[in-house]
Amino acid sequence: MKLRLILGDQLSQNISSLSDVDAQKDVVLMCEVRSEATYVKHHKKKIAFVFSAMRHFADALSDEGLNVRYVRYDDPKNAGSLRGEVARALDDYDIDEVIVTTAGEHRLVQDMAGWAEKLDVAVSIRDDDRFLCSAAEFATWAEGRKQLRMEYFYREMRQKYSVLMDQDGPVGGQWNYDAENRKPAEAGLDVPATYKAKPDAITQEVIDLVNAHFTDHFGDLTPFHFAVTRDQAISALEEFIARRLKLFGDYQDAMIQGEPWMYHSHIGLYVNCGLLDPLDCIERAEAAYHKGAAPLNAVEGFIRQILGWREYVRGVYWLKMPDYKTANYFDADRALPDFYWSAETQMNCMRQCITETKQNAYAHHIQRLMVLGNFALIAGLDPDEVNNWYMLVYADAYEWVELPNVSGMILYADGGLLASKPYAASGAYINKMSNYCGSCKYKPTVKNGPTACPFNYLYWDFIARNEGKLRGNPRMGFMYKSLDRMGDEKRQAVQDDTRRFFKAIEADEKV
């Protein structure tokens, strides 16, 4: 008899650990355990989503005739950890082998590597073949390269899977249409609502459980409308393709107050937990282009996020762990301000993005990168604290995808392994790409003083204090030429404003 363990982000019926399951003999183990729900204090909505999706998936396996042992969080016998629940199952069944698909986070991979010895049972850890590029394949691609640029990796993946290809070249003659995908927010846009599933009895039971056991965790639990089954997740994907994909490209960098979802897909949490297959998402979007239902810039941009960026950051993660977790190129050490939790700040862009994160366990990528992340970068926030925040607040966050995005793309903590330059920007960028600034106490056109947008002087403080590490970057030349033209009085004003700003934070003043 074999025990087949399914993790909370492995909710795919084609998962490798089930590929040869014997419905007559084997036991499928799924468990809601404290160690996984609390190693960071995950957003309430994220816990509810994962637990409900797990319960629905377990029911689907049972309906197919599999023998499922499902351990609920509030089971008095719950051991509280994956290893503990495997050990308990070994006591209850005559198991000769434990089979599991490799975990998506390094800490679990390390733990599972010792299970055979600690549990005195054969343990088979199988590759996760749901991804489109294996860790080994990525390592081969990366070998000998001085820089690991996503664009070149993405092109090879397009060719490998024949996605948006016209014989030997890309459809439309270009690989990347990102330059067409930067339209700012416009008044009067009619943004379709996101997909909303009505909670059933299973989901409501989970909501009640989270209310009872995770009261001190971040975020709003209700209203809850995430998809929790594969059929619902497919409906969410289809709704995106039908209603939002055609304008996704144009406005993927735009931010509008009161419109947290914009034209994005909102399916990252479904792909990352296994409810959606990445290649299926890609093929459906490509089909929309060929049917004339969505333009090339939108479809290519969406496909690049999955076939390019998602696979690329996973490759970087497994290539560089465990050292990647401690990367801190700028030696940043400032504590995460309390307003990242409370949203109590007079910076309207930050208030909007944090509030929406708290409400939805979601923010779209430009909010994460150019508002929340941009502030963390230019303010010199400690990478450990920033990673912890991103890891726990978003429903789609698992370390393999969160860590490279934050340490590499947002904080440049890896010194340029992943990004060719830091994504630092002043208030002018946020003003261009959003309507946040019109409702803000601070003015994006004011560079210094109490009414100046803090992003303005923090940006130049970041440029100045990291000059030794960034001046040689060819993509930063224009910024340093501008810094060189600054007079002593201007530089001093930047320092004074920065010092005043952080002194106010330390004094618990609302900045």
Q: Are residues 122 and 162 in the same domain?
A: no
- Residue 50 to residues 18, 46, 79: CA-CA distances in angstroms? 20, 6, 19
Residue 333 placed within a domain: no
DSSP state letter for 194 = P
Residue 97 confidence (pLDDT) above 90:
yes
Which of 82, 103, 126 is at the close of a domain? Answer: 126
The CATH number that applies at residue 115 is: 3.40.50.620
Once rounded to an integer, what is the mean pLDDT over residues 246-268?
95
- DSSP secondary structure code for residue 334 in this structure: B
Find all residues with CB under 8 Å of 79, minimum gap 6, and list them: 33, 85, 87, 88
Q: Are residues 28 and 157 in the same domain?
A: no
Residue 139 and residue 122 share a domain: no
Pairwise pLDDT comparison (147 vs 366), residue with the higher score: 366
Is there a single domain that holds both residue 295 and residue 438?
A: no
Q: What is the mean pLDDT of the chain?
A: 96
Nearest to 270 by CA among 235, 219, 299, 220: 235
CATH number at residue 167: 1.25.40.80
Same structural domain, 435 and 408: yes
What's the pLDDT score for residue 188?
82
Do residue 118 and residue 173 come from a single domain?
Answer: no
* CATH number of the domain to which 447 belongs: 1.10.579.10
Same domain assignment for residues 114 and 145: no
Q: Look at residues 126, 154, 179 and tell me which one is the last residue of a structural domain.
A: 126
Question: Percent of the chain at pLDDT above 70?
Answer: 100
Percent of the chain with pLDDT over 90: 96
Domain identity same for 165 and 277 = yes
Centre a 10 Å sphere on the Cβ of residue 344 and count the other Cβ atoms it contains. Answer: 13
Domain hosting 349: range is 339-506
Sorting pLDDT into bands at 50, 70 and 90, what band is 186? Answer: confident
- Please give the distance of CA 404 from its chain centroid, rounded to a whole number: 9
For the chain, how many structural domains are there in total?
3
Tens digit of each residue's pLDDT (9 = 90 or more) over 300-344: 999 999 999 999 999 999 999 999 999 999 999 999 999 999 999
